[in-house]
Amino acid sequence: MTGCVSYSGISKRFGNLQVLHDVEVSCPAGATTAIVGASGSGKTTLLQLANGVLRPDAGRVLVFGEPIPLQEVDKYRRGIGYAVQSGGLFPHMTAQQNVTLVARLEGWRETDMRARFNELLAEVDLPADVAGRLPRQLSGGQQQRIGLCRALMLKPRLLLLDEPFSALDPITRVELYERFEYVKQAEGVSALLVTHDLREARRLAEYLVILHEGRVVQHGLTAQVLAAPATDYVHALVQSQLS
C-alpha cells in the first residue's frame, strides 16, 4: 500500500527524555490510520513530525512519498489539515472567521471562501446561523465540527486528528463519528487519528498502529491487529478495552 505518511527509523528526544525509538511504519493513503497508546507514548509527537512542527533526531518522514520541505515548511503546513481536542478555535473569532482564516491568508477571493465555508457546513451538518457565533456560543459538538471545517478548508490531502472526540459526551461522540466518516469520504482525504480509545480506533480506522513507550509494538489492518495481538502489551490493551 502507498503511504500517506511513512516513518523510517524515527527517533526523537526532548532533553533527557527519549520519546520515540526507531519508529518504522507506513500509514496507507486513502485510509484512516489510528495511532493508539497511553499518555506519553509518543502519539502526538508522530503527528507533529508529519506536519513539520518537529524534526526527527534520526530517521526520515515522507508524506505521500516526499520529504517535508524544510525551506517552505509554513506553506507545506497550510496544505495539511490539523484538528485537535475541543476544536482549538480562536475565542475572539466567529465560526466563519475561524474556518476561513488560513484561506484569507492564502489570498482566496471572498466569494470562494464563502462558497467553501457553506460547503463544509453542509458536510458536517451545521446550520448556516452558526457562522456568526463565537466559540463560547457553540456546543462542544459544534465546536468540534467547526474545528474539522477549519482543518479541511484548503482541501488538504492529509488530515491529522489529535484526540478530537475525547472531550465529548458519548451521544455527541457517536454523532461526530458518523459525520467524520461521511466527511472523509466526501473530501477524499487520508487521515491519521491519535486516540487512546481502541473502540474509537475500531470504529473509524482501517489501519492501526499501537505505540508503547515510544516504540511501535504492532501495526496492521485494524481487524487483524485486534484479532491477533502480537505482544503481551497489545493483548492486555485489547482485553482491557474491548472485552
Tens digit of each residue's pLDDT (9 = 90 or more) over 167-176: 788 888 899 9
Q: Which residues contact 150 (CB under 8 A, 6 or more apart)?
A: 83, 89, 98, 99, 101, 102
User: What 8-state DSSP symbol labels residue 163?
Assistant: S
Strands 207-212 and 32-36: parallel
Q: Where are the domains of the chain?
A: 1-68+194-243
Cell of 170: 458519548
Please state, in angstroms and rounded to a whole number, the distance separating the CA atoms of residues 47 and 35.
9
pLDDT tens-place string over residues 164-223: 888 788 888 899 999 999 999 999 999 999 999 999 999 999 999 999 999 999 999 999
Supply the pTM of this predicted model: 0.94
Predicted pLDDT at 1? 52
Q: Determine the CATH number of domain 1-68+194-243.
A: 3.40.50.300
Q: Is 207 in contact with 33 (CB distance < 8 Å)? A: yes
